[in-house]
């Protein structure tokens, strides 16, 4: 069955100054990071062309701010012209970061084949894809930053063989993001839409429904070491068969800088002098797996460890050494933070001999039979007690 395809992207946040890097990296690396971040829309254009998509949907927050950074606007317009020249249509909505305020209602700068969905009502465009599939692309933009209306419900009147709904929304009220244009999964599933091309949530998600899929591609470029900003960032490619049915979206990275959280468990480390070597080796592995992206790394030491006291004593020195040695490993990248959630390892045999609450509870557990407290429950309680004591110390 012949297939055609489209590209789904969201939360480009073009013009973002990458303030999260602050003074954590050198001015040279910070400037280089901003230069690299400015290439991600170019990467999207290249992916759209190489994948030979019929159209691109951009689901809001194309710009980081409502006043549209001038350099970002130039880069977007150049990219849109290139897509137009390649015969690739573009459909976009604006979200909470770049609402359609009165100053930015005009689309006169946009090339042929680029369509902005207006605010206030859902509008749609019909497309015949190269394999003959009939697709309707429908969407609605924000007029204000704090959109409180459930816009998903406005799509119920859209009709077509295969419907792609483009919307910037918080499905289910995810707490880490503003609850703009809030809706529920039921709202999505009760609509006639086959593929919900969503934006706003920076964590990539793909959910199957009886009609097709609803998905967040995540943002195009990570901006900090916050968990939802880390890892590969990019776009989703959706294949459409001749009969209008959809394949599961597949991810293609577009990021130029990759923010990463690395964790090093010190539970089994018995010599504090090994910590630096372990950290450097971990960074080398991350660079090797980075797909040639510049890495910005948050390095965290974890675990209940017997070297806790020595590790804490030398932590600042170790952190400084990691920062210094990483410069030769990471190129245009950097370690932006070193932290720890380590705790002291607890020897249960010794604890049983002490006059403590933990000792009392452990000995009480020992006095119970297998029938009274099964071994699995006994072990689980011991672990909870040890964790509690370790954190308290």
- Please tell me what DSSP assigns to residue 130: T
What Å distances lie between residue 48 and 55, 82, 260, 351, CA to CA? 8, 10, 26, 62
Q: What is the largest CA-CA distance in the chain?
A: 81
Distance CA 388, CA 393 (A): 9
In the chain, the DSSP E strands lie at 3-9, 55-59, 89-93, 114-116, 123-128, 134-139, 162-168, 195-199, 205-208, 213-216, 234-241, 250-253, 257-265, 294-302, 304-305, 334-340, 343-344
Distance CA 277, CA 245 (A): 52
Inter-residue contact 224 to 193 (CB < 8 Å): no
Helix (H) or strand (E) holding 190: helix 185-190
What Å distances lie between residue 214 and 117, 128, 195, 197, 305, CA to CA? 19, 22, 6, 6, 44
Inter-residue contact 301 to 342 (CB < 8 Å): yes
Distance CA 194, CA 11 (A): 21
Inter-residue contact 167 to 197 (CB < 8 Å): yes
SS3 state at 347? coil
For the chain, 393 residues long, give each residue's pLDDT as a single digit of tens. Answer: 678 999 999 998 888 777 778 777 888 888 888 888 889 999 999 999 999 999 999 998 888 776 677 888 888 889 999 999 999 999 999 988 888 765 554 455 778 899 999 998 999 999 999 999 999 999 999 988 888 889 999 999 999 999 999 999 999 877 666 688 889 999 999 999 999 999 999 999 999 999 999 999 999 999 889 888 999 999 999 999 999 999 999 999 999 999 999 999 999 999 999 999 999 999 999 999 999 999 999 999 999 899 999 999 999 999 999 999 998 899 889 999 999 999 887 766 666 777 777 677 767 777 777 677 777 776 676 666 656 555 444
User: Residue 145: its pLDDT value, please?
Assistant: 82
Q: Look at the pTM and tell me if it is higher than 0.75.
A: yes
User: Residue 74: its pLDDT value, please?
Assistant: 87
């Amino acid at each position: 069955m012949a297939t055609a395809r489209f590209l789904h992207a969201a939360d480009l946040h073009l013009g973002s100054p990458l303030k999260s890097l602050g003074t954590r990296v050198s001015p040279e690396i910070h400037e280089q990071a901003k230069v690299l971040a400015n290439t991600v829309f170019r990467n999207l254009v290249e992916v759209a062309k190489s994948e030979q998509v019929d159209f691109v949907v951009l689901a809001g927050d194309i710009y980081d701010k409502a006043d549209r950074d001038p350099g970002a606007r130039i880069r977007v317009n150049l990219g849109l012209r290139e897509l137009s020249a390649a015969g690739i249509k573009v459909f976009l909505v604006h979200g909470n970061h770049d609402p359609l305020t009165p100053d930015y209602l005009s689309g006169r700068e946009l090339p042929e084949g680029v369509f902005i969905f207006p605010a206030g009502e859902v509008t749609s465009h019909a497309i015949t894809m190269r394999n003959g599939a009939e697709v309707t692309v429908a969407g609605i933009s924000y007029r204000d930053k704090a959109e409180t209306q459930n816009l998903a419900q406005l799509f119920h009147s859209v009709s077509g063989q295969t419907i792609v709904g483009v919307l910037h929304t918080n499905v289910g009220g995810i707490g880490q993001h503003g609850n703009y244009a809030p809706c529920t999964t039921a709202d999505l599933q009760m609509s006639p839409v086959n593929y919900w091309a969503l934006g706003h949530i920076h964590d990539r998600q793909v959910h199957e429904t009886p009609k097709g899929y609803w998905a967040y591609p995540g943002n195009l470029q990570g901006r900090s070491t916050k968990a939802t900003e880390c890892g590969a960032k990019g776009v989703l490619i959706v294949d459409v068969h001749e009969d209008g049915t959809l394949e599961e979206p597949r991810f293609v990275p577009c990021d130029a800088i990759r923010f990463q959280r690395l964790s090093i468990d010190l539970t089994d480390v018995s010599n504090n002098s090994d910590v630096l070597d372990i950290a450097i080796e971990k960074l080398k592995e991350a660079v090797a797996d980075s797909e040639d992206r510049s890495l910005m790394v948050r390095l965290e030491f974890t675990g209940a460890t017997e070297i806790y006291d020595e590790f804490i004593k030398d932590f600042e020195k170790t952190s400084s050494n990691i920062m210094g040695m990483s410069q030769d490993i990471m190129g245009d990248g950097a370690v932006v933070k070193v932290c720890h959630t380590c705790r002291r390892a607890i020897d249960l045999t010794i604890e049983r001999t002490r006059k403590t609450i933990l000792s009392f509870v452990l000995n009480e557990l020992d006095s119970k039979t297998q029938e009274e407290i099964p071994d699995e429950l006994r072990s689980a309680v011991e672990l909870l007690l040890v964790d509690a004591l370790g954190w308290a110390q």
